[in-house]
Structure 1
Amino acid sequence: MHKTIFIAQEGPANALALNKDYSRVVIAGRNVFKIFLIEEDEFVEFCNLRVGKNLNLNFSCNDVAWNSIDDHILATAATNGAVVVWNLNRPSRSKQEHVFIEHNRTVNKVSFNPVEPTWLISGSQDGTMRTFDLRTKTATNVFHSNTESVRDVQFNPNCHALFASVSENGNVQTWDMRKPDKCVLQFTAHSGPIFACDWHPESLWLATASRDKTIKVWDMSSSKPTMEQTINTIASVGRVKWRPQHKYHIASVALVVDCSVNVWDIRRPYIPYVAFTNHKDVATGIAWRGDPNVCLTTSRDCTLYQHVFKDATYPAAQVNPHALAVSPQGHIAFACKVTPSTVKGSKIQGILRRTTTSSEEFWQVSSTLNFLECTRNKDMNWLIQFAERYVLTGKPLGEICDHNSAVALSLGRFAVGMMWSMIKTLYAQDEEDGLNLSFPPIEEPMQSRSEETRLPKSSLKENGKSRSVESNSTDNKYRRKSNSDELEDSVGDFFFGDAEMDPLSMEFEINHLDGLITQDWTLQPEAFQLRQEIQDRSSPPEQFHDHDSPDGMEEEVSRINEKWKGLSVAETLVPKMWDEKYSVVSALKQHGTNGDVQTAVCILIALPPVRRQALLNLIDLHDQEVWLLAYISLLNQHQLFTHANEIIKLAWIPEVNQLNQQSTTVNISCNQCNKVIPQGTRLCGNCSSSVTCSVCHQVVDGAYVWCQGCMHGGHLLHMQTWLSKNTLCPAGCGHACEYT
């Protein structure tokens, strides 16, 4: 029975590899190169390969590979560009067999051919791949990828002459060892550098891992690869490895940020199927130990772990299967879990039916996504209704806000209605009452006390006793007077006695109250007579200093001075009131940003000038002008010219307020065809008739006046003379013309 075990090392390992019977594991890094026996409960160190007199860069490893047939042969990729072969059967202490110095830069990956144990391939930072023959100890072929660097090379387990390589430019290449001059296939798989790849042990799938935080599965069975699935992760992926005996499972480790080892089901790529969270730093290598439920990993935290599935965490079991989201447009999307339906059959079918595994149950769990679209009336009818029904001036602010809020609520614009209600709450009462709410200044009692303690000691000695007596007598007078006033003014529903008191019929006089005040109201110490006298055997009271004596008063004053010696108040603490202007301005800007310039403009117009100016000081002048011009433009587009002119007159910006006084044009229509006569001419462009006077029948070139009823007119002087003597139109149409 496998268990989760680990061992710590003196340095981090960059890679690991297992022998063919999975009983030993080798880890390699810049400062560590060891072989461990995998026992049932622990790792036992078998051999330390980092020994010798000259520990050069050949011992600094980026990758390590164990020959799958010859159990005593290992190969490492060194950071100095060397490919080193190690023989564990060497009798000497150093197990180094041969060093291939063919690459110019760091070697990133080494891999043995799964069928031919003497074939070794390497990928380097210099952009080349080289194959080596361990029998002749020579480099046989060179493959130029025409890229900056090769990060990983892997032999195809289904065709031992083919291998795949990935590079930092995001390209994937497949090569045939018999044709080193040109790659068989090349395509771009990722938008960033690819750090690792792995062939599927059962099918022609190739998994690639990239810095773009994705794992992609490619179908390489045809000349044009197709992407089968994409797994999105939270960090750049450094290593991937297919899980044996599970077609759809693949393990991955991150390059940064994520310290867990995740096993994914490519059919459910959104959440890991299993996660191992034992490492405290990012993992650097992963290998399966033959058993699909056991894997080994190395990490930058200088540990080697053996993980078992029974101790893993299942993220899907901790995820809420239900979700809800609301878009800014009001659309609602919600997901809910759907349990796979089980078909009930006969007992024989139930016996013969194969039980589903945990992996299949994970894949079968499904959820449904429902979408509710908020259908809104996209026409601008509400804008027209607001413009026609809003009240902006002529009434108190409270009535204006109530009316406009009711209009907004009746048209379904609840946010606008709440905005008007908020304006009423903040400003309407202040405007009606004319109140200026502010806190009274806070007195400083500590200052008066400190001044009293700073009095000369002699004055305290002389006046201390007389002042206390005087204050006592004053207090008694005040207390006596207040008690009498209280009894005189008090009116109650009943009094403590045998009968009720009528407050309207009974009258009190001061003389009667004097007798009540002087009466002894002391209660008896006991409710019944004691059988024997209680003797007081308590200890006598302590002897205190006489505070009225000069010595006692002097000690008291000195003690008070010492107590308040270091206490000082820099300034009066006044509670800070909430300033509503910033909240109102933020709400107005929100309406303006959402395109509802009508609400922002109308609220600013309805506010009193003082309140409006306080808000405008916090709003950029450009934004104010944009809101006004946009609202006026909307009104003109909907042919609400009267309302647009009203907004122009009520505008607080002079440039906007003068719009209706600039570029005003009056069009003249032809009295024959009613077409508009172009500016600068008296000739109609439609019927070629000119504007003539109905009295003198001459072309009018000057002041022209016409009747709005029959459209006939003429020279101003001629029409005045005619209408002073006649009431009907001079053109003979029979209309009774009226001029104002």
Structure 2
Amino acid sequence: MEKMTKVSTISGRTMFCHLDAPANAISVCRDATQVVIAGRNIFKIYGLEEEGFVERLNLRVGRKPSLNFSCADVMWHQMEENLLATAATNGAVVTWNLARPCRNKQEQLFTEHKRTVNKVCFHPTEVHMLLSGSQDGFMKCFDLRKKESVSTFSGQSESVRDVQFSMKDYFTFAASFENGNVQLWDIRRPDRYERMFTAHTGPVFCCDWHPEDRGWLATGGRDKMVKVWDMSTNRVKEIYCVQTIASVARVKWRPERRYHLATCSMMVDHNIYVWDVRRPFIPFATFEEHKDVTTGIVWRHQHDPYFLLSGSKDSTLYQHMFKDASRPVDRANPEGLCFGLFGDLAFAAKESLMTAPPSVGDVGRKPYPGGDRRYPIFFFKKPDVTEQFAQVSSALNVFESEAGSSVGMDWFINTAQSYLLSGKPFAELCEHNAQVAKKLKRPQESTTWTMLRIMFSEPANPSLSTNHNLNKSGNLPLVNSFSMKEMSAALNERNKENRQDNLHNLETNLNNNDENEETEGSEGQAEYLFGDAELDDDDLYSIEHDNQAEEPEYLLPQEAFPLRHEIMDHPSAPEPVQEKPESPHVSASEAESMCLTPMESFSLISVSQLLFSPHLPPQFFCPIVKEMLCYYAEQGDVQMAVSVLIVLGDRIRKEIDELTQEHWYMSYIDLLQRFELWNVSNEVIKLSTCGAIMCLNQTSTTLHINCSNCKRPMNNKGWICDRCHQCASVCAVCHHVVKGLFVWCQGCSHGGHLEHMMEWLKQSKHCPAGCGHLCEYT
């Protein structure tokens, strides 16, 4: 075995090397001359030299390497240069001694965890103390002089994602969990934690103690947040929050820089960011070398803020020099514009742009004066020459709309509260929403609702007129479906079949027409009215004497429909339209020549009726409605797009892709919540069909319950406290366990069955538990 030698010189440039396999974790020795890379298929030590990384040792030895070499995490002891610890995916915790003379450097093996070990951590000052956190929800403290763990800590959670010893408090360590909680433990008390608080809405993947400030703890989670907590007070306080663009996998404080920390993402984003927590909206520096997800980051030395080491799934190991990092602030636009919900307009610009004299258009400008306490005042720190990052100063101006201005959002609130999206038939919903839009002086939206009602709803009371009778049969297509000649020939044949049976009625009707009608216009009117074969004598009499016969829509002049030549042949005709014999209105000798006129009149008039026939498939209107919804959404009126989408339901939902629907829903829900329209927002979520929207009501509420006896948090989901073993939800009136609806007072925390509490508070205002508190039921 070749003895390893230390390298006296350390490289001072950005460099990288290719690895044999993707890396899962990275750690550096105390004097920053060597770095260890660990993964599922790699476990090597590299030296840092002037010419680059040099492989020193391969710890995966043996013909058949076991799963103990499959590492999820690795830690190099900062006091003992030859001591390493790894967390294996099979639940093993392994320590490695590089000073062993044989090829196999494995020293101790702990197999007490039942699932994957996510994190291992050495005590910063105690040589023989090692801490581990596993997927099984337990943390174990090992004394390396013994063959088993000395303490076991139960977090009462799904899994432990990270554990870190405090840099300042000897007995304290922090643990982050899958359920979003962070716990502080004292290694002398393994029975229960000292503190617990909810840090993130989702798993907390990492945490890191500040090297200088005693009580600062940084955490990162799946919610794309990096939060800094102050533990020095009695109550845990969030002091900084940084919003990233992906789940945070690792977080490391930068040495010698109090407000700087580095992060990398678990997926999607491959870059490494250095943040100044005082400016959380744009990274202080960015390293963009990796081509796949970064899995491990570590500062090269605890007193060197200028070099960062990283490993990635792209099988590369990088040393990043800080001065080579890209500077997002240099590419950021120092000018911005924002339009407020209530008509206010705000913009920020460089101070050099604000020194110009005001123009005519600047009337009404209200800049933030230095002494006006109504507006926030922005302070900029003095530029640090050593950081080489430019400081950009800008001024903020606001244009405020006048009271009662037309650009207000009252219409949005009134529309959201007045619209009906469910609970009534489709036609009534459309009619109600049309009236609401009309009252709010939104004619375009009102017309849209009316057209939707006409296109997608069935007629309420079909008339006995010729148009409705033919529509009900459903056998007559549009005018352009087949030639008028074929339609006329079909009815012509049926006229011949029934001519002998109705000859007497024909002559009688003609005599009546000659006596009562004097003009050609009246004759044209009779042709239109009696062109339907289904009307019998009673119908003819009622129509002639009905006031509706005198309405303008039936007064069609004869000249508007020119006659065509007589049809000699009889082409194939469609199926009969009616089963009843026609009632001709001309003589038998003129039936063939005159039958075209009423048919043409009927066909041209009935186009509008056929378009809105309930027998047309909904797909006929779907492209137009889809285009209309996209138009409203592009114009910013997501309220109209979402409302129509909910009311139409399955009629249009399949025509629009789910991602677009989700985008509309999220935009509308965000607007509703900004205006505190919680009930409307909840109704929209409930009526949506997108999976990502429906789950919002299921994940947005968290209820933390404490035991009414011992006042400690309840971790289980039953009715018995796991600490004092007493029933937590006992009714203060009947003293039985409440297994259904439980109502309690937020002032004294006592409660019980809903019915019992209602009856009690009708008679007395004092708490039924006898605590003397004045409870109020609302």
Normalised by the size of structure 1, how large is the TM-score? 0.49
